[in-house]
Structure 1
Amino acid sequence: MTDTTDDHPTPATLPVERTCPFDPPPAYAELRETCPVSPLKLTVGPGDGGGWLVTRLAAARAVLSDRRFSHRNELIGLPIPPPFPLTEYQPPAAGPGAFIKMDQPDHSHYRRLITRRFTMRGVAELTPMITRLTTEHLDAMARTPRDERPVDLVAAFAEPLPVRVMCEMLGVPDHVREPLSEHLALLSRMTYTVEELIESCTVIGEALQKLVAEKHAEPGDDLLGDLAAGGKVTDEELVNIAWALLGGGFDTTANMLALGTFALLEHPDQLALLRERPELADNAVEELLRYLTISHLGASRAALEDVDLDGSAVRAGDTVVVSLPAANRDPEHFPDADRLDLTRSTQGHLAFGHGEHQCIGQHLARSILRVAYPALFARFPSLRLAVPAAEVPLRTDMLHYGVHALPVTWDDEA
């Protein structure tokens, strides 16, 4: 393990205890001020490498853009307990096509195959589809009789909308969408049994293999169809690409949509500002991304060689966890960082990571949020929480932070 002499405090555990649903655990602020690159206790890890926690934005960006820090799954230790008890920990290397957990040149090879669909121009072509699906879900929600309210916004709107958008983009038919959603949701939990893991991986794998076979027979004008028709990837690679995109796209945008709505309802001055100044919509999305940062467990990397990181001696084999929530609240970069301010400059936030592994779906997520937030509040001007804020169940037990449910109600408009 990493040396923890007087120059290095005793390794801390990853902070998880929150005092406010919208703020990171308070321990991050203290670490950012007193020890911005601090020793971190790993629960399990490959080899005997130590752990480090980065809490300032400048150092975070440095790690995420430095190829001396690897994204390979088999090299990275865990700062939280594994989903089920393990006698030893040896995570598998990424399978062919699972580009998210690869380094260069493999990462770029696969990413180039799909980038066109995820560029700003490519995503702009999806705006009519995103708008149509948003309207469909809001129409269905509006038809809810008064005596059947409150409505869970997560189940009615925030969760199904991004899932449908992603499925239409990739070419995943409706009958496959539900089982994929159910089992990918299980794998986004921080705890599950070995039996649940096997069942979910089996269902997802079989569903995607069948889908790939269908794409070969009838490619269609969608991302998976393009890849199947292009012949540049094997079936195994195509299954893993689909798994990576669906796994990364289902859970994240849904949580941002629900948690962002919760935050705006609890900050009525900012919600009023958004309603009064529609031109703020783009910046409002960026500020909500910064302020809430649903990737609450951070981004982990493994040092491939010894690195001096802000004066700390990171050794080859060490795991470095970049706290994205802490970095996005860094007062050196964002003045009054703990305040939600839809008018602030958000340039440089790390909600989607940074560097060559920055989230490939960031433009798609932004597009969904830019359409969904204004449409929701325009359709339901009197939208409000149906329970006290303290009773909203928080997703502290999941890989991505958010709310498990958001009970809301509204007045019927004349």
Structure 2
Amino acid sequence: MNCTPSPAEAATVFPTVRSDPYAPPRDYLSDGRPGIRRVSLRYGGTAWLVTDHPTARLVLADTRFSSDSTLPGYPSLPLAVKHRIPGHLLSMDPPEHTRLRRLVAAQFSAARVRESRPRFRASVRTLAEALAQSGTPDLVADFAVPLPSAGLAPMLGVPMEDRGFFETCATDLQRHDATAVTRRVAAGRMEHYLVDQLAARGRNPGNDLLTHLARGVDDGFSTEELAGLANVIIMASLETTTGLFALTMLSLLRDRRQRERAVADPATWAAPAVREALRYWTIVQHGVARVATRDTELAGCRIRREDAVIVHLPTANRDASVYTDPDTFDMTRTQGGHLAFGHGVHRCLGSSLAENLVEIAVVEILLGLPGLCLSAPPDAHQFLDDMLVYGLRSLPITWEGMSEA
């Protein structure tokens, strides 16, 4: 592999705007194929951009590439702060990362997720019933946006009435054009809120994540660490769950064969549809950042210590060497191993939780709204290009008997 940047490579800027909302930017490819190349960062500096599946998987699991955003050379990206944030799992390495993750890992176990499914189903049905009464139903505003709060709030211990506060903070943190001041204010508001919530759980414990975290003070964790950890978990659950549900439904409804199969047997096809949506859309549309901690070689390229590295998950999940016909959404696909939730020690803590909630939501919507279809052509939909998490601004729908609701 030739790792000397060509003039075209040197001119490629990351992140760049998609020319096709249904595919990652083709500018990121090397000679039309996934691989590794140098790019200029829109926020300053340069980085190695990894776009093939095997190399992406390697970097995500390799301790030679650090998640610590305070290290020299870490990519200049919107959420890459250069000071240590207590409890911020996403920007730290083991052993600090291990210590914090171990504190909450059991809260996201398979057993805990199974225990939560009946509650998820009840919350989803309430949302679906409200949607069915809407005069101008929008599957994003009326269902996808409140879905994570309605489904996850009881498990996390977050009051439902504070949903608007969380959604505003999440938007302020994840907009591309948000200033550093905007992000600091949003993060500060969240921290103060969660410190108060942890104190309240200490006085009046429940059976939820915040109560579990509040007990961490007795195990040597600081209040700042616990609030920071809660912040990461809650913020990560909002936009991602909303985007995943909306894009899964768009994928099913825009393709007649996929829709007919899913409608005929939602219980069978909801889970495969969600898994394929994770591969096809990936949701975290700009991938993840790392920095090399030593000189090394990667896919034939010489990587220097303090070189910035970005793993572009959406392109890696379209690697034709791993997936047959990768640009097609196909819920019958047998190839697995997508990287939408990452890989290695930083693999998403709440991945099973999100998949289960969205799966249940897909089943209930398909069962509860017979004849469900899009009320606008697919090319009319507006995507969240300005957010770090991909999704839809709206998804107007119709179904049999809607006018009688």
How does the TM-score come out when normalised to structure 1? Answer: 0.89
Out of 220, 224, 230, the position equivalent to 1:242 is 230
Q: Which residue of 62, 67, 83 corresponds with 2:63?
A: 67
Q: How does 1:28-177 map to 2 (within 5 A)?
A: 28=28, 30-31=29-30, 33-34=32-33, 36-44=35-43, 50-75=46-71, 77-78=74-75, 82=78, 91-144=81-134, 148-149=135-136, 151-177=137-163
Aligned residues: 397
Give the 3-state SS of the residue equivalent to 1:73 in structure 2: coil
Of the three residues 284, 291, 308, the one matched with 1:295 is: 284
Q: Does 1:23 align with 2:23?
A: yes
The answer to whether the 8 Å contact 1:13/1:79 transfers is: no
Q: Aligned partners of 1:196 and 1:240: how far apart in 2?
A: 18
Alpha-carbon distance in 2 for matches of 1:99, 1:136: 33
Relative to structure 1, is the Cα distance of residues 328 and 110 closer, same or farther in structure 2, using a 3 angstrom cutoff? same
How far does the alpha carbon of each residue in 1:332-363 deviate from its partner, in whole angstroms, 9 at most, with x for none? 11011111111112411101011110000100
Contact 1:4–1:10 (Cα < 8 Å) also in 2: no
Greater mean alpha carbon deviation, residues 372-381 or residues 101-110: 372-381
Query: Which among 309, 330, 333 is matched to residue 298 of structure 2?
Result: 309
In structure 2, the partner of 1:86 is: none
User: Structure 2 counterpart of 1:212, which letter?
Assistant: L
Secondary structure of the structure 2 residue equivalent to 1:366: helix
For residue 263 of structure 1, the aligned residue among 251, 270, 293 is 251
Change (3 A) 1:178 1:6: closer
Kindly provide the amino acid, as one letter, of the partner of residue 21 in structure 2: P
After superposition, the C-alpha distances for 1:241-266 in whole angstroms (9 at most, x for unaligned) are 11010111111011010111112111
Instruction: Quote the offset at 1:93 in angstroms.
Output: 3.2
How far has the Cα of 1:195 moved from its partner? Answer: 4.9
Q: CA deviation at 1:25?
A: 2.0
Matched-pair contact (CA < 8 Å) for 2:294–2:305: yes
CA deviation string 1:173-224 (max 9, x = no partner): 1233321221122211111245533442332222112111101111211111
Deviations 1:3-55 (A, max 9, x none): 94679953622263334332222334x4274571101112345xx7x410111
Aligned-partner Cα distance in 2 for 1:110–1:253: 23
Q: Is the 8 A contact 1:54 1:323 kept in 2?
A: yes
Q: Which of the residues 360, 376, 381 maps onto 1:371?
A: 360
* Structure 1 segments unaligned to the other structure (5+ residues): 84-89
Matched, 1:214 2:203: no
Residue identity over aligned pairs, in percent, reads: 34
1:166-205 matched pairs, under 5 angstroms: 166-205=152-191
Instruction: Mark the CA change 1:333 to 1:266 in structure 2 (over 3 Å): closer, same or farther.
Output: same
- The question of whether the paired residues in 1 share the 8 Å contact of 2:34 and 2:316 is answered with no
Q: CA RMSD in A?
A: 2.3
SS for the counterpart of 1:302 is: strand
One-letter code of the match for 2:264?
A: E
CA distance in structure 1 between the aligned counterparts of 2:34 and 2:128, rounded to whole angstroms = 46
Equivalent of 2:346 in 347, 357, 377: 357
Letter in 1 for 2:187: C
Which residue of 2 is the match for residue 285 of structure 1?
A: 274
Gaps of 5+ in 2: none
| CA distance 1:362–1:6, shift in 2 (3 Å) | closer
Mapped to 2, the partners of 1:201 and 1:393 lie a distance apart of 28
Match of 1:394 in 2: 383
Match of 2:242 in 1: 254
CA distance in 2, matches of 1:94, 1:164: 32
Deviates more, 1:283-292 or 1:171-180: 171-180
Alpha-carbon distance in 1 for matches of 2:332, 2:394 = 28
Letter in 1 for 2:38: P
In structure 2, do the counterparts of structure 1 residues 327 and 110 end up closer, same or farther at CA, with 3 Å as the change threshold?
A: same
| In 2, Cα distance between equivalents of 1:276 and 1:178 | 36
Which digits, 9 at most, give the CA deviation of each residue in 1:77-130, with x for residues without a partner?
A: 4466x49xxxxxx83333222222110101111001100111211111100111
Structure 1 residues 35 and 290: alpha-carbon distance in aligned structure 2, compared to 1, 3 A threshold? closer
1:185 alignment partner AA: T
SS of 2:10's equivalent in the other structure is coil
Task: For residue 395 of structure 1, give the secondary structure of its aligned residue in structure 2.
Answer: coil
More displaced stretch, 338-347 vs 69-78: 69-78
Alignment pair present for 1:274 and 2:273 = no
| SS of equivalent to 2:206 | coil
Tell me, yes or no, if structure 1 residue 333 matches structure 2 residue 319.
no
Aligned partners of 1:14, 1:119: CA distance in 2, in Å?
36
